């Protein structure tokens, strides 16, 4: 991959990059289309497919995370992707089996709350693998989805702090017709759970209506959202937060605040967020 990118660079070709963990859906393909628009018809669009073990904790779904490389390749070809980077664990974490991989990238501020609090080592894994992917693919622009708002903020910060010479672009969340944010994990849901999962988007719409006047109290709104979620038989609220979209610092729920929530539907943990 590094040799190929060096050749492209010598020819003055711009490189757009979409990092993924595979099992691609229309949300990923939207990121690919955005990358294509950003680098133009003569640019090269690279998609990485790698289920990164270091961003999963021991109790999470690493081994059963959905994978289908054949289907991913077909989707990438149809979407006009120029190259797929598909490394294995030995290439990404040399010596990891013996436990001698020892260099990690840690963002210390934006990664503390929400997903970082619920999944203690998650962002260390994300920043480490994304930094490694940036070093390997050396893109001019990398595109991430707004569904993982905190992840995008952490990566943008890492890119600035570590002087990666590239632009990070965040593309809007793609949704199913009923509002559920597209995610590879949606495949875990039974048909009944799939119906219940719309409660994430409904919670955001509820909050949006609640703040449309003069705003609302955070604690009252959180209670109302917890109640709305508890009406779904297998749903359990993990967190709901209102915060400044750039700094991620807590903010009263009012227009312009970002709302994010994580909800278990049965055993599947889903996240969503939007600007109120």
Q: Where are the beta strands (DSSP E) in 91-234?
A: 141-145, 167-171
Would strands 141-145 and 15-20 be described as parallel, antiparallel, or unpaired?
A: parallel
Q: Which residues lie below 8 Å from residue 160, measured CB to CB, with a gap of 6+?
A: none
> Alpha carbon 238 to chain centroid distance?
17
| DSSP for 101-130, written as a single string | --------STTSSHHHHHSTTHHHHHHHHH
Stretch that binds ligand PAF, among 13-21, 56-64, 208-216, 253-261 (CB under 6 A): 13-21
Question: Which residue is associated with the tokens 């991913």?
Answer: 72
Task: Map the footprint of ligand PAF across residues 112-141, applying CB under 6 A.
Answer: 126, 129-130
Give 115 or 140: the residue with its C-beta nearer to ligand PAF. Answer: 115
Catalytic residue among 28, 132, 156, 157: 28
φ, ψ of residue 202 to 5 degrees: the values are -65, -35
Tell the smallest beta-carbon distance from residue 52 to ligand PAF (Å): 4
Determine whether 28 is an active site residue: yes
Measured torsion, CA atoms of residues 137, 138, 143, 145, in degrees rounded to the nearest 10: 60
Check: CB of residue 49 under 8 Å from CB of residue 84. yes
Tell the smallest beta-carbon distance from residue 150 to ligand PAF (Å): 11
Give 13 or 60: the residue with its C-beta nearer to ligand PAF. Answer: 60
Tell the smallest beta-carbon distance from residue 11 to ligand PAF (Å): 27
CB count, 10 Å around CB of 133?
22
Residue 181 within binding range of ligand PAF, rule CB under 6 A? no
For residue 85, the cross-strand partners are 48
Q: Kindly tell me which residue out of 19, 30, 139, 253 binds ligand PAF, with binding defined by CB under 6 A.
A: 19
Give 22 or 43: the residue with its C-beta nearer to ligand PAF. Answer: 22
> Which of 173, 147, 169 lies closest to 38, judged by CA?
169
Stretch that binds ligand PAF, among 15-23, 97-105, 157-165, 174-182 (CB under 6 A): 15-23
Give 44 or 52: the residue with its C-beta nearer to ligand PAF. Answer: 52
Q: What length does the chain have? A: 276
Check: CB of residue 239 under 8 Å from CB of residue 114. yes
Task: Map the footprint of ligand PAF across residues 149-178, applying CB under 6 A.
Answer: 151
Q: Kindly tell me which residue out of 5, 16, 17, 20 binds ligand PAF, with binding defined by CB under 6 A.
A: 20
Q: Kindly tell me which residue out of 52, 150, 174, 268 binds ligand PAF, with binding defined by CB under 6 A.
A: 52
Cα–Cα distance for residue pair 131/127, rounded to 1 Å? 6
Give 127 or 258: the residue with its C-beta nearer to ligand PAF. Answer: 127
> Which of 126, 165, 118 lies closest to 144, judged by CA?
126
Q: Kindly tell me which residue out of 5, 21, 235, 270 binds ligand PAF, with binding defined by CB under 6 A.
A: 21
Q: Kindly tell me which residue out of 115, 140, 148, 193 binds ligand PAF, with binding defined by CB under 6 A.
A: 148
Tell the smallest beta-carbon distance from residue 265 to ligand PAF (Å): 19
Which residues would be at the binding site for ligand PAF (CB under 6 A)? Answer: 19-21, 52, 55, 126, 129-130, 148, 151
Which residues participate in catalysis according to the annotation? 28
């Amino acid at each position: 991959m590094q040799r190929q990118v060096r050749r492209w660079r010598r020819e003055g070709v711009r490189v757009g990059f979409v990092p993924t963990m595979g099992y691609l859906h229309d949300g990923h393909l939207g990121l690919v289309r955005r990358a294509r628009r950003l680098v133009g018809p003569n640019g090269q669009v690279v998609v990485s497919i790698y289920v990164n073990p270091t961003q999963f904790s021991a109790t999470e779904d690493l081994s059963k995370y959905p994978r289908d490389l054949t289907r991913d390749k077909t989707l990438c070809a149809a979407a006009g992707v120029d190259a797929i980077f598909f490394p294995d664990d030995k290439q990404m974490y040399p010596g990891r089996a013996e436990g001698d991989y020892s260099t990690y990238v840690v963002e210390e501020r934006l990664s503390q709350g929400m997903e970082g609090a619920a999944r203690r080592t998650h962002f260390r894994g994300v920043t480490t693998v994304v930094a490694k992917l940036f070093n390997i693919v050396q893109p001019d622009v990398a595109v991430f989805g707004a569904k993982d708002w905190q992840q995008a903020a952490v990566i943008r910060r890492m890119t600035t702090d570590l002087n990666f010479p590239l632009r990070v672009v965040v593309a809007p969340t793609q949704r199913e017709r009923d509002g559920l944010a597209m995610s590879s994990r949606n495949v875990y849901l039974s048909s009944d759970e799939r119906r219940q999962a719309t409660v994430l988007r409904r919670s955001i719409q509820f909050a949006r209506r609640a703040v449309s006047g003069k705003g609302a109290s955070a604690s009252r709104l959180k209670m109302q959202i917890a109640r709305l979620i508890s009406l779904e038989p297998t749903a359990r609220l993990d967190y709901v937060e209102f915060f400044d979209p750039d700094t991620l610092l807590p903010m009263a729920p009012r227009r312009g605040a970002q709302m994010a929530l994580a909800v278990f539907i049965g055993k599947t943990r889903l996240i969503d967020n939007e600007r109120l």
